[in-house]
Structure 1
Amino acid sequence: MLLEVEGLCVNYGHIEAIRDVTFGVEEGTVATLIGANGAGKTTTLKTLSGLRKVRAGAVRFDGKDITHAPPYQRVLLGISQSPEGRGCFPGMTVLENLDMGAFLRKDRKSAAYRADLDRVFDLFPRLKERERQAAGSMSGGEQQMLAIGRALMAKPRLLLLDEPSMGLAPKLIQQIFTIIGEINQQGTTVLLVEQNAAQALKRADTAHILETGEIVRSGSGRELSGDDSVKAAYLGGDL
């Protein structure tokens, strides 16, 4: 198991944001967390990235306890996140944003670094076309591509994706999810938080439903997408 989350509890002040959350992510798979707004999905990812303090429970990555490790150590170990809202640096170019994703790498003048940059451009040809353009002048879809590309420049073993389809047109949503599948096929494990439950479940090896900070259902993506109660609650009654 690449990622193990056990009994995780996180508070915002006196309010419990997530409570006794336990799940795992096998290496080489796509896992997804789905649920309504406020269910605790983004808090879970921020906690895995080290941006939220753990009140109780444990997080292990490749067998190593990282429960209280700072964010930079988690990046060095192989965890990288594309955040909700994209978080691109608007005044910086595409290339500069991508370089920021590699800020902890010591091989930034190497052939390996260039190969990783070329991989991002192969996945997102639009970024190659815009490499000298300021991120703030790009469309929402292009900024989403940039946020994912920036996360990939850290060479993650586990890629955390927070709402990659938010605010995108349907055609772009399909494109983004296709690329997420390609990233996984290239060997990167993916943990996806997504309100577009239908798209997420189609691609997930394992899926977990969060409600008010707790996991209430787990199973394969296929099992949950075929469950009538899940369809009614998250898929509009139909996949």
Structure 2
Amino acid sequence: MLLELDDITLRYGRIEALHGLSIHVEEGEIVALIGANGAGKTTTMRAISGLNPLASGKIRFAGKDITTMRADLRVPLGICQSPEGRGVFPGMTVLENLDMGAYTRKDRAGVAADLKRVFELFPRLEERQKQISGTMSGGEQQMLAVGRALMARPKLLLLDEPSMGLAPMIIQQIFDIIVEINQQGTTVLLVEQNAQQALARAHRGYVLETGRIVKEGTGQDLLHDPAVKEAYLGVA
């Protein structure tokens, strides 16, 4: 098992945001975590990345207990996140942003190979590698955020709302690239409000409501679950 969250609880002050949440991700999977705004999806991602400490529970990665490990030490282990809202460095060029993704690495030949891979996945980034990232469109910035995360050569890629604010055609393209990244050997944990697109591509999924897992199953099972369809897919 690559990632295991075991009965984790997380609080913001007196507010309990996650209540005894347990999920797991096997190596090679795409796992989708879906839910409404405020369900705790981003909080779960921040817990995995080490940005928010747990009140209780355990997080294990590749068999290692990382519950109290600092966030910056989790990146070399193989956990890397493309954050909600993209979070590119707006005053830097595309290439400088991608270089920042590889800041923990010393293997220059490997970094060069991964840069080539990112440009193959996102030809637009190669075309615009000297452009200041803050002047790019939302879709291009999303490609850059995912590409930057890939430059860390993650074992587990955390994607937080990659389709947010994008045009339908770009959303389709982003999800197709997520599948390609997975097929190339990277495990993906995907947080998405676009449940239709996420579940259609996920091997497994979890439904999160107010900090608790209320359903889990294969992507296809959840996609065709009447309660999930009514609540998240707009189908009665």
Report TM bin, short chain: over 0.9
What pairs with 1:135-154 in structure 2 (closer than 5 Å)? 135-154=133-152
What does residue 179 of structure 1 align with?
177
SS at 1:10's partner residue? strand
Name 2:192's counterpart in structure 1: 194
Taking structure 2 as the reference length, the TM-score comes to 0.99
Q: TM-score, normalised by structure 1?
A: 0.98
Secondary structure, aligned partner of 1:165: coil
| Alignment correspondent of 1:212 | 210
Paired residue for 2:6? 6
Aligned amino acid, residue 69 of structure 1: M
* 1:106 equivalent in structure 2: 106
Deviations, residues 50-73 of structure 1 (Å, cap 9, x unaligned)? 000100000000000000101111
Cα deviation, residue 148, structure 1: 0.2
Distance 1:113 1:97 in 2: 13
Unpaired runs of 5+ residues, structure 2, are none
Q: Does 1:132 align with 2:136?
A: no
Structure 1 counterpart of 2:87:
87
Q: Tell whether 2:139 aligns with 1:119.
A: no
Counterpart residue type for residue 35 of structure 1: G
Q: State percent identity of aligned pairs.
A: 66
Is the counterpart of residue 25 in structure 1 residue 25 in structure 2?
A: yes
One-letter amino acid of the counterpart of residue 204, structure 2: T
- 2:54 aligned residue: 54
RMSD: 0.7
Secondary structure of 2:164's match?
Answer: coil
Letter in 2 for 1:229: A
Q: What residue number does 1:74 align with?
A: 74
Per-residue displacement from partner, 1:67-93 (whole Å, max 9, x unpaired)?
A: 010111110100000000000000000
Structure 1 residue 111 displacement after superposition = 2.1
Residue type matched to 2:81 in 1? Answer: Q
Output the CA distance in 1 between the equivalents of 2:235 and 2:112: 46
Q: Partners in 1 of 2:86 and 2:113 — Cα distance? A: 24
CA positional deviation for 1:113: 1.2
Looking at structure 1, the residues matched to 2 and 111 of structure 2 have their Cα atoms a distance apart, in angstroms, of 24
**1:112, distance to aligned residue in structure 2 (A):** 1.5
Measured after TM superposition, the shift of residue 38 of structure 1 is: 0.1
Corresponding residue SS for 1:24:
strand
Per-residue CA distance 1:136-157 (angstroms, 9 max, x = gap): 0000000000000000000000
Match of 2:190, SS state, is: strand
Where in structure 1 are there 5+ consecutive unaligned residues?
none
